[in-house]
């Protein structure tokens, strides 16, 4: 029986998504603990402003060249080669790894030297003291991208074989490394300990995945097959994706530039609210997108376009079924969420209000942010990495214009609203272009499901608001316990309403979940 359950979990899209989502929940819980420790220790002030700003330069290098760009280009090509010739597949993997690592190593040295100049450009509104602290943190954090380059190459191999366990554990270890930095290293080194915690976490991110990748048959070789057609193809596919990710990073840099000139703590609050809204995106959207990506690739390799559309439609409906009610919970219980997760130590009530306002406007585009990873991977599976770049470019322009207009007027909430508007437009562009390419995306079924989900989510929202008000009158809302009771009562009560209504209205998504669970328990 255990073997059959293992086959269900490791041999299907839903099983892969369950593994990724389960550990994504754990990772996000650890990440929320990380943020609570950060806010409790430093508050939403200058130290956290410098800490989050220090990520801009390492993220610009790593996220642009490796994260996302590598996996999106690597998986379809690697699987195609590996199924024909395993040794050739490993040779391609090693060549890509070695070339990338050397490139990142050289860039790390260059940007280490240029860090003071670049930090000055990224945070012009910071004081001289804050710029110096940001520069120190940045230089140390640059070391982390060397470990992350190796780690994400390993992740790409594991996800290609749909081995998601170690892959999913890695972010948990990364967050534990940062927590070690907050709890232990800052006591010894001061704020600099935060950066060393990031480096330690990146090392753990790599080490946890090594045993699993070796079990696939992988072994490292000192090979640089630059002229290999498959390596060239991966490089060519990465280029537009790199450009798209560079746009995304530039987006964050522009937001940081604008935020650095607003109230102290704006950079920190923007990042803290973004981290909170990223929890459901990663649990529901990204986990399903990662799990279904190899299936997308394989169906198109086999020429099974109908199967591709089937999996795409089912994945989109599953995400919407989970993310729309989650949006209602985040909007209605945003203050409770922020206070419970971040409201400790030096994180005061003013910080709570500002963060909850940003969270509200981020939640407006929660559906779009959750579906963009699936849409993007649909294009990557078609070995089209350029179309998502075009959509991201439009989104960048809209976000910059929106931030420049709304930021000075609304503060951090305006920056969040500008991001949401750009995300929704990015989503619409990707969806319409994919439909144009394929002719149809089973959109009628998606639309009908969405209408039903929105309707029962509105009923759920009314239940949440009613329970929240009633419980609020019965408990002391000035205490952690009172806020916790109110949040759990409203969220749990609303969730029960949603599930019951899903069964009454015979939502297809709840039927899929029921069938899957029945299969698991029967076997």
Region of 298 please: left (phi>0), alpha (psi -120 to 50) or beta. alpha
Q: How far apart are CA 340 and CA 362, in angstroms?
A: 19
Give 282-335 pLDDT, tens digit per residue: 888 887 887 777 778 778 777 777 888 888 888 899 899 999 999 999 999 999
Q: Domain limits of the chain?
A: 46-241
Which pLDDT score is estimated for 477? 82
Which pLDDT score is estimated for 446? 86
Which pLDDT score is estimated for 229? 80
- For every residue of 279-294, DSSP letters joined together read HHIIIIIIHHHHHHHH
- 111-385-214 Cα angle (round to 5): 70
Residues in CB range of 299: below 8 A, 6 or more apart:
305, 307, 308, 311, 381
Question: What pTM, to 2 d.p., does this model score?
Answer: 0.77
Give 381-403 pLDDT, tens digit per residue: 887 778 888 888 898 899 999 99
Segments in the chain below pLDDT 50: 1-3, 5-11, 520
Which pLDDT score is estimated for 498? 92
DSSP state, 285?
A: I
Q: How far apart are CA 363 and CA 420, in angstroms?
A: 8
Which pLDDT score is estimated for 1? 47
Rounded-to-10 torsion of CA 376, 378, 382, 388? -20
């Amino acid at each position: 029986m255990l073997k059959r359950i293992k086959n269900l979990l490791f041999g299907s899209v839903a099983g892969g998504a369950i593994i990724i989502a389960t550990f994504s929940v754990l990772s996000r819980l650890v990440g929320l603990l990380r943020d609570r420790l950060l806010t409790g220790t430093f508050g939403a002030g200058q130290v956290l402003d410098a800490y989050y700003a220090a990520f801009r330069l390492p993220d610009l290098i790593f996220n642009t060249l490796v994260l996302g760009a590598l996996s999106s280009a690597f998986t379809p090509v690697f699987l195609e080669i590996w199924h024909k010739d395993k040794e050739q597949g490993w040779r391609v993997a090693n060549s890509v790894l070695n070339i990338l690592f050397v490139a990142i190593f050289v860039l790390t040295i260059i940007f280490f030297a240029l860090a003071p100049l670049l930090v000055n450009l990224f945070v012009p509104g910071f004081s001289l003291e804050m710029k110096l602290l940001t520069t120190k943190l940045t230089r140390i954090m640059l070391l982390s991208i060397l470990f992350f380059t190796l780690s994400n190459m390993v992740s790409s191999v594991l996800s290609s074989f749909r081995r998601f366990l170690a892959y999913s554990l890695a972010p948990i270890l990364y967050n534990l490394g940062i927590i070690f930095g907050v709890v232990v290293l800052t006591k010894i080194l001061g704020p600099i300990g935060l950066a060393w915690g990031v480096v330690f976490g990146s090392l753990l991110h790599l080490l946890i995945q090594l045993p699993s990748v070796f079990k696939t048959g992988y072994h490292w070789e000192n090979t640089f097959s630059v002229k290999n057609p498959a390596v060239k193809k991966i490089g060519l596919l990465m280029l537009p994706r790199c450009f798209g990710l560079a746009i995304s990073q530039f987006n964050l840099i522009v937001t940081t530039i604008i935020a650095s000139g607003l109230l102290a703590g704006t950079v920190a609050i923007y990042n803290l609210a973004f981290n909170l809204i990223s929890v459901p995106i990663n649990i529901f959207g990204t986990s399903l997108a990662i799990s279904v990506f190899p299936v997308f690739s394989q169906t198109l390799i086999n020429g099974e376009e109908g199967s591709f559309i089937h999996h795409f439609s089912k994945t989109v409906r599953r995400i919407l079924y989970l993310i729309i009610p989650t949006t209602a919970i985040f909007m209605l219980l945003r203050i409770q969420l922020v206070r419970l997760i971040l409201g400790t130590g030096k994180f005061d009530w003013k910080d709570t209000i500002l963060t909850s306002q940003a969270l509200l406007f981020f939640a407006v585009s929660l559906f779009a942010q959750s579906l963009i990873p699936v849409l993007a991977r649909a294009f990557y599976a078609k070995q089209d990495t350029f179309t998502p770049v075009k959509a991201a470019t439009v989104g960048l322009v809209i976000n910059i214009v929106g931030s420049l207009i709304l930021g000075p007027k609304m503060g951090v909430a305006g920056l969040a609203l500008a991001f949401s508007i750009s995300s929704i437009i990015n989503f619409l562009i990707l969806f319409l272009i994919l439909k144009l390419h394929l002719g149809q995306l089973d959109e009628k079924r998606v639309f009908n499901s969405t209408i039903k989900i929105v309707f029962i989510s509105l009923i759920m929202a009314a239940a949440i608001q009613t329970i929240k008000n009633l419980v609020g009158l019965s408990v002391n809302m000035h205490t952690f316990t009172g806020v916790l009771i109110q949040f759990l009562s409203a969220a749990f009560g609303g969730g029960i309403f949603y599930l019951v209504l899903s069964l009454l209205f015979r939502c297809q998504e709840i039927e899929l979940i029921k069938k899957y669970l029945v299969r698991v328990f029967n076997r």
